[in-house]
Amino acid sequence: MKKYIFIQNDPFYLPRVLDKVLREFDDSVVGINVQSVAQGKRSVVGTAMDLLKLYGFGYFQRKLRQYLWNKVKAKVVNGWMGSTKRCYSVAAVARKYGVEVTEAVDVNSEEFRTHLRDSGVEFIVSISGTQFYGKKLREQTSAGIVNCHGALLPKYRGLMPSFWTLANGETEGGVSVHFVNEKLDDGPIVVQRRYRIHAHDSLEDIMGRSKDLAAEAIIECIRLVEAGDPPLLDNPEDESTHFSMPTREDVRRFRAHGHRFT
């Protein structure tokens, strides 16, 4: 089964996730589409400004320095030096396994959908993807499109599920790999993995744990789909909760539960 992966251009956690997935399936993944880090309809600058308001200057500038430093290392080590021993971007991981990379592409465009058809793509995996996958794209993908979401659906649909899980004082979190339909985070669930949340856990602790489980869940999902007729869990709309970009008040509630960003 020929596969394509849609993945966010995140230099912190996702190169490791992609490496684990391609280690298992590089011979059947025919391409990687790298998508913007912008959230929803926001621009990259707009997303950055929202995160600055949310995190405050101290944590935001620390993450920005890490982001830029990883970008520099990706350019120098993975780009100029051509080394993939340590990959600092998802594009570098794709090159490590010899998989084609596309960037800054509207995946719903006729041109890109034609590219997928010409490549024989039957199944698409979205890992923290930031684009909406339209009806035409879904209908031409014979085995379907699955998305990996960092929460135990149907709860915590929408943005930043790891933050909201902590802000609401949950003692358990998880990841869900579900089929994509016309609604956000709404399709039937193929795989769920759970983890405990401790009072001392930071947001970075939880995000790291979530991404480790995401790689395992994605690999399991692909194997189930390849085997045919995977068992599915319900993802009922009437039990769902939806969340968007947090406010400073939400951060105060997050801290009141004893959590920190790092």
| CA–CA distances in Å: residue 19 to residues 60, 88, 121, 232 | 27, 11, 20, 26
- The answer, yes or no, to whether the previous bond of 154 is cis (omega within 30 of 0) is yes
pLDDT given for residue 75 in this prediction? 95
233 secondary structure, DSSP code:
B
Residue 161 is predicted with a pLDDT of 96
Q: Which residues contact 12 (CB under 8 A, 6 or more apart)?
A: 66, 67, 70
pLDDT along the chain (262 residues), means of 10: 96 96 98 85 81 90 94 96 96 97 93 97 96 97 97 96 96 97 95 96 96 97 96 96 92 94 94
pTM of the model: 0.95
Q: Would you state the pLDDT for residue 40?
A: 61
What is the structure's pLDDT at 43? 78
C-alpha–C-alpha distance, residues 35 and 41, integer Å: 13
Q: Which DSSP letter does residue 127 get?
A: E
What's the distance, CA 212 to chain centroid?
12
pLDDT of 66 reads: 95
Domains and CATH numbers, the chain: 3-256 (3.40.50.170)
Nearest to 226 by CA among 142, 126, 151, 147: 142
